[in-house]
Structure 1
Amino acid sequence: MDVVTLGESMILLTPDTDGPLRFVNSFHKTIGGAESNVAIALSRLGHQVGWISKLGDDEFGLYIRNFIRGEGVDTSQVTFAKLASTAVYFKESQPGQDPKVYYYRKHSAASEMKPLDIDQAYFKQAKFVHLTGITPALSASCKETIYHAIKLARQSEAKIVFDPNVRLKLWSKQEAKETLLDIALQSDIVLPGIEEGELITGETEPEKIAAALLKGKVQAVVVKLGAKGAYFATKDESAYVPGYEVKSIIDTVGAGDGFAAGFLSGLIREWDYKKAVQFGNRIGAYALGVKGDVEGYPFWQQVNPEKTGEDILR
Structure 2
Amino acid sequence: MVALRGDGPLKLGGTMAVSVAGAESNVAIGLARLGHTVRWAGAVGDDEAGELVLRTLRAEGVDVRDAGRDPGAPTGLLLFEPRLPEVTRVHYYRAGSAGSRLGTDAVERAFAAAAPPRVLHLTGVTPALGAGARAACARALELAREHSVRVCVDVNFRSRLWSREDAAAVLRDWASYTDVLIASDDELPLCLRAGLGDRGERGGPAGRAGRGDQAGNGDRSGAQIADQAAGLLGLGVREVVVKLGARGATAYTGEGEVHRPARTVRAIDAVGAGDAFVAGYLSALLDGADVAGRLERAVTTGAFAVASRGDWEGAPTRAELGMLGAGDGAVLR
Q: TM-score, normalised by structure 1?
A: 0.91
1-side partners of 2:244 and 2:307: how far apart? 18
Q: 81, 86, 94: which is aligned to 2:83?
A: 94
Q: Please list, as runs of the form range in 1=range in 2, the aligned pairs for 1:151-230 lying within 5 A after superposition.
A: 151-201=142-192, 203=202, 204=220, 205-230=224-249
Structure 1 moving runs of 4+ over 6 Å: none
Q: Is the 1:50–1:75 contact (alpha carbons within 8 Å) kept by the matching residues of 2? A: yes
Provide the C-alpha distance between the structure 1 equivalents of 2:190 and 2:133, rounded to a whole number of angstroms: 21
Cα distance in 1, alignment partners of residues 49 and 5 from structure 2: 15
Which is further off, 87-96 or 269-278? 87-96
Q: CA deviation at 1:309?
A: 7.7
Amino acid at match of 1:177: A
Partner of 2:206: none
Among candidates 254, 261, 264, match of residue 242 of structure 1: 261
Deviation at 1:37, TM superposition (A): 0.1
Trace 1:128-167 onto structure 2 (pairs within 5 A).
128-167=119-158
Letter in 1 for 2:75: T
What is the 5 A alignment of 1:1-314?
10-15=1-6, 17-18=7-8, 20-118=9-107, 119=109, 120-122=111-113, 124-201=115-192, 203=202, 204=220, 205-247=224-266, 249-303=267-321, 310=326, 313=329
SS at match of 2:113: helix
Deviations 1:85-123 (A, max 9, x none): 001111111232221111111100011112123223139
Q: 1:208–1:270: structure 2 CA closer, same or farther, 3 Å change rule?
A: same
Please state how far the C-alpha of 1:170 moved relative to its aligned partner: 1.8
| Aligned-partner Cα distance in 1 for 2:291–2:44 | 35
The residue type equivalent to 1:95 in the other structure is L
Measure the CA separation in 2 of the matches of 1:27 and 1:67: 18
Residue aligning to 1:4: none
2:167 partner SS: helix
SS across alignment from 2:295: helix
How far the C-alpha of 1:11 sits from its partner, in A, is: 0.6
The aligned counterpart of 2:215 is none
When the two chains are superposed, the root-mean-square deviation of aligned CA atoms in Å is 1.8
Q: Distance in 2 between matches of 1:289 and 1:311?
A: 16
> By how many angstroms is 1:310 displaced?
3.5
CA contact (8 A) 1:123 1:152 kept: no
Q: Distance in 2 between matches of 1:123 and 1:178?
A: 34
How far apart, in 2, do the equivalents of 1:121 and 1:161 lie? 20
Q: Distance in 1 between matches of 2:115 and 2:100?
A: 24
User: What SS class does the counterpart of residue 131 from structure 1 fall into?
Assistant: strand
Answer whether contact 2:233 2:239 (CA < 8 A) is retained. Answer: yes
Separation in structure 2 between the aligned mates of residue 313 and residue 266 of structure 1, nearest angstrom: 16
**What CA deviation, in whole Å up to 9, does each residue of 1:66-101 have, x standing for no partner?**
000100000011110001000111111123222111
Note the residue ranges of structure 1 that are not aligned, 5 or more in a row. 1-9
Once the two structures are superposed, residues 39-65 of structure 1 have per-residue CA deviations (whole angstroms, 9 ceiling, x without a partner) of 000000111100011100000000110
Shift in alpha-carbon separation, 1:34–1:123, aligned structure 2, 3 A: farther
Determine if contact 1:275/1:312 at 8 Å carries over to the other structure. Answer: no
C-alpha change, 1:89 and 1:123, in structure 2 (3 Å) is farther
SS at match of 1:106: coil
How far residue 142 of structure 1 moved from its aligned partner, in angstroms, is 1.0
Name the stretch that deviates more: 123-132 or 45-54: 123-132
Percent identity between the aligned chains? 35
Runs of 5+ in structure 2 lacking a partner? 193-197, 203-219
Give the number of aligned pairs: 300
CA distance in 2, matches of 1:154, 1:234: 20
Distance 1:131 1:274 in 2: 23
Task: Work out the CA distance in 1 between the residues paired with 2:322 and 2:174.
Answer: 33
Q: Alpha-carbon deviations, 1:4-27, whole Å to 9, x = none?
A: xxxxxx111111x23x21113210
| CA 1:312–1:43: 2 relative to 1, 3 Å | farther
Which 10-residue stretch deviates more, 206-215 or 127-136? 206-215
TM-score of the two chains, using structure 2 as the length reference: 0.86
On the 8 A contact 2:175/2:235 being kept in 1, the answer is no
